A and B are shown apart, each in its own frame.
Chain A
C-alpha cells in the first residue's frame, strides 16, 4: 500500500510539473491548445491525488488530514479542484500558469513526509472533526484561488498600464472577470472559514477544553485571518471596492491564511498542530 502511495504521489507531482511546463511553454509559443492540455494534466493529477488519499483513508482507518503529507496533499487536491472549477465553469484561461507551479511545489513539500508514521487522530467527535477539516480545506482552496486570481489581476493590470501586449496579456482573462471571480471566492472562503470555526468551537465544547484553546497560537492566527476576510468581504460587498487595491488585499489575506495554516506551527507550539511539524501533536 505504501509503495502504491509513493508511485501515485510521484505521478501526481509529475503531472502537475508537466502542466506547469505546458503553461510556461505557452509563453513562447502560439499554442492555443496548451491551456486545455494543462487543464487535462491538472485534472488527472487531481484524480490521482483523490485515489492516493482514499488509499490513505483505508490504511489509516480515518479521514486523511493528519500529518503534513496528508495535509498538504489534501490542500493541493482542493486547490486543483477549485482551479478546475473556475477554469471550466467561467472559461478562465491562463490560470494554470500560476497555479500549476504552486501545486507542484506543495506536492513536492508533501512528498517529504510520505514515509512518516501515520498520525493518530482524536476519537471524540469524529463527525465534527471531519466537518471541521472539510470546511477548513475548502476555505483554504477558495482563499488560494482568490489569491491566484489576485496575482493574475496584478499581472494583467501591469500589462495594461504599461501597454504590453506580451504573452501573459493574451493568456490571462480580462481584469473585470478576474475581479468578479476574486470577489466570489472571497465570499466563499469567508463562509467556509466561518463554518470551520463554528465546527471547531463545537469540537472544543464537546472535548471540554474550554478557554485553553482561546490562547492557542493557531486559533489566534485563524481568528486574525477570519477578521481579514471579513474586512475584505465588507470592502467588496458593502463598500463596493474594486480593482488593484482589492487584488493586493486578497494576496495579503492569502499570506495570512498560509501563515495560520502552516507557518504558525514553525514558530510556536500549538495544541492544534495536526500537521505535526515537529511540535506537539493532538492528544
Chain B
C-alpha cells in the first residue's frame, strides 16, 4: 500500500473540531516542508478548506507514518483536544483514497453537491505542494487524474447546473432578464436578511446602483451605506418604482406594499423595459396580479424555493451519473498502484511458461526417438512448444491486466499465485518430482 488520505470534514466533525485542524493557504507550505523534512521518502499534498482538511500522502511507508502525521497536523492542540479530534479523523488507502480524491475534486463530497469552488481549492493545494516540491510522481499522476475526472463530471453531467440557494436563484433569473447587471438599479424594500443576501449576490455580479427604502430611514441608511447605496423615505416608493430595474422586497408588513396599479404605472413610464420583482416576504409584499403585467417578472419565496428544490433533486440525480464517472476513473487509476506488482507477476508467469517449455523440450528432445532428428526439425519442435506455451498463457495474462484495470488486482494476483504455485518448486523440479513419484 502506498497512497492514503487522512482527514476530517463537515460530515465527520462539527466546525469546532474542524477549526483545530485547519490551515490557511499561507500556512500550508510550512506544514508540507515539515513533513518533507521529517519523512524524506513521503510525498504529500495538504488540502484545507472551511469544510475539510485532508492530507494526501504517498510513499512505501505511509502507513507507518500515520500517527506521526496526525500529531503533526494537530500540533498546538492539547492532549484532550487531540484525542477528541482523532476520533473524527478518517483514513482511506490506495483505491479508496483515489476514489475519495476524485469525488472531492468533482464536488461530490461537498456540502452543496456539484459545487465547483472545491476544484479550484484542490488545484491550489496541489500547486502549493508543487512549489515546495513535496508532490512526487504518484501524487502528480493522481491529482492530474482528479482534475481530468472533475472536468468530465462537470461537462458530462448536470451536477453543477442550477443554483440551490434562494438568493442565487434570484440572481440566475435576473441574469436571464438583464444583459448587464452592472448597469441596473436595485431597490431594496425593507432591510431583511434574505433580501440582503440577494443583494449581495447581485453586487457580486456587478450591480452598483443600490437604493434602500425602509420604514425606518436610519436602518435603511445603515444598509445602503454598507453597499455604497442611497436610502430613501418610504413615501417615495411609487415615485422611484419606474426608475429601478430590480426590486427586492422583504418588509414583513401584514399587507400589500407594492400594488399592481403602481407596477402598471411604472411599466408605462418604462415603456416596456423589463422589471424584476423579488418578493421574499411572508405575507407577500407585492400584489401577485402584478406578475401578469407584460414585461414584469415576479418571483415570490415559494417560486424560488421550488426551483431550489428542483435543482437540488436534479443535482442528486446527476450525482449518480457523476459517481459512475468517478468509479471508472478510479478503476483506470488502479493501475497506478498495481503497476510494479503487475509487471512482476507477468514476468513470473512468463518465467513459469519458459521453465515449463524448457523442461518439456529437454525431456522430449533427449529421448532416443527424437534425438536423431535433424536440426530444422528440432527447431520446429522448439517453435511449436513456444507457440503452445504462448497461447496457453495469453488468456491468463490478459485477465490479470484487465483485473488490474478494474480494481480487482489483489484477488487476481493471489489466485494467480496459487494457481501457478509461485513460491513453490520450479516447474523443472516439479517435473522431476512427478517422475520420481511415478517411479515410486
Contact = CB atoms under 8 A, between A and B. Distances in A.
A30 B272 contact: no
A109 B177 CA distance: 36
Given A241-B272, A242-B274, A160 B179 contact: no
Nearest to B157: A30
A180 interface: yes
B41 interface: no
B303 A246 contact: no
Interface stretch (B9-17, B92-100, B292-300): B292-300
Interface stretch (A52-60, A135-143, A162-170, A190-198): A162-170
A240 B307 contact: no
Given A30-B155, A30-B158, A175-B274, A245 B294 contact: yes
A268 interface: no
A278 interface: no
Given A163-B303, A165-B162, A165-B307, A245 B272 contact: yes
A242 B273 contact: yes
B176 A174 contact: yes
Given A32-B155, A176-B179, A243 B294 contact: yes
B295 A156 contact: no
Nearest to B155: A32
A177 interface: yes
- Chain B interface residue number, banded: 20 to 34
Contacts of B173: 160, 163
B306 to A, nearest CB: 8
Contacts of B364: none
- Chain A interface residue number, banded: 20 to 34
Nearest to A32: B155
Contact of A244 (B176, B294, B318): B294
B333 to A, nearest CB: 24
Contacts of B155: 30-33
A165 B169 CA distance: 10
B161 A160 contact: no
Contacts of A169: 176
A239 B303 contact: no
Contacts of A176: 177-180, 274
Nearest to B291: A161
A243 B274 contact: yes
Contacts of A281: none
B182 to A, nearest CB: 12
Residue from A156, A159, A173, A242 whose CB has the most chain B CB atoms within 10 Å: A242
A94 to B, nearest CB: 11
Given A30-B156, A241-B271, A243-B274, 5 more contacts: A160-B297, A163-B307, A165-B311, A240-B271, A242-B272
Interface of B: 155-158, 161-162, 172-173, 175-180, 270-274, 291, 294-295, 297, 299, 303, 306-307, 310-311, 318
Interface of A: 30-33, 156, 159-161, 163, 165, 169-170, 172-177, 180, 239-246
